[in-house]
Amino acid sequence: MNDRPFRILGVQQIALGALDKAPLRALWVDLLGLTPHSTYRSERENVDEDIVIAGLGDFAVEIDLMQPIDPGAKPAVHLPALNHVGLWVDSLHDAVTWLTAQGLRFAPGGIRKGAAGFDVCFVHPKGSSEQPRSGEGVLIELVQAPPNVIAAFDALAHATKHAGETR
């Protein structure tokens, strides 16, 4: 029986870092053709980023092209180059509560507003003695899905379930 009080609905973002985001933009926008969406800058998070979009509609995925404001400061958003993966979750508060009880370690900062305006929190890439479970070397961002993403997921899940029943 699954007692997990939340669902992961899909990939919300992939965050890439470099000392200079211009070559990333040249690749992802100029060569691959992703659509520029917005920019985000935060001194506290040491990040200057361009947000570009892959895909359409409710399941579009952000590709965040990040460079540090101060290359010598923390966090070092350019290391590693694949900085983190963001996942849509249908109930962020329930997920954090349940996952914490399972021994999952979260990065400092708790639940807060992210660059795209959604509530977020981060799963730490490394466990600790108190919270031994982790992202297994990967920083994972859990992002509260807005109602339209949850509804689109439910509609797709419903359609897929019923398509399987009519075969």
- Domains of the chain: total: 1
Is 108 among the domain residues?
yes
Is 1 among the domain residues?
no
Is 119 among the domain residues?
yes
Would you give the DSSP letter of residue 59? Answer: G
Would you give the DSSP letter of residue 57? Answer: G
Is 2 among the domain residues?
no
d(CA 87, CA 141): 6
Q: What is the residue-level pLDDT of the chain in tens, covering all 167 positions?
A: 479 999 999 999 999 999 999 999 999 999 999 999 999 999 999 999 999 999 999 999 999 999 999 999 999 999 999 999 999 999 999 999 999 999 999 999 999 999 889 999 999 999 999 999 999 999 999 999 999 999 999 999 889 887 776 55
Q: Do 115 and 40 contact (CB within 8 A), yes or no?
A: yes
User: Global pTM?
Assistant: 0.90
pLDDT for 167: 53
d(CA 81, CA 53): 18
Is 3 among the domain residues?
no
Is 64 among the domain residues?
yes
CB atoms within 10 A of CB 92: 19
pLDDT for 83: 94
d(CA 9, CA 98): 17
Burial 97-108 (b: 16+ CB within 10 A, else e): eebeeeebbbbe
Residue 87: CATH number of its domain = 3.10.180.10
d(CA 137, CA 124): 8
Is 26 among the domain residues?
yes
Is 21 among the domain residues?
yes
Domain that holds residue 78: 8-165
d(CA 48, CA 164): 45
pLDDT for 160: 86
* Residue 12 host element (H or E): strand 8-17
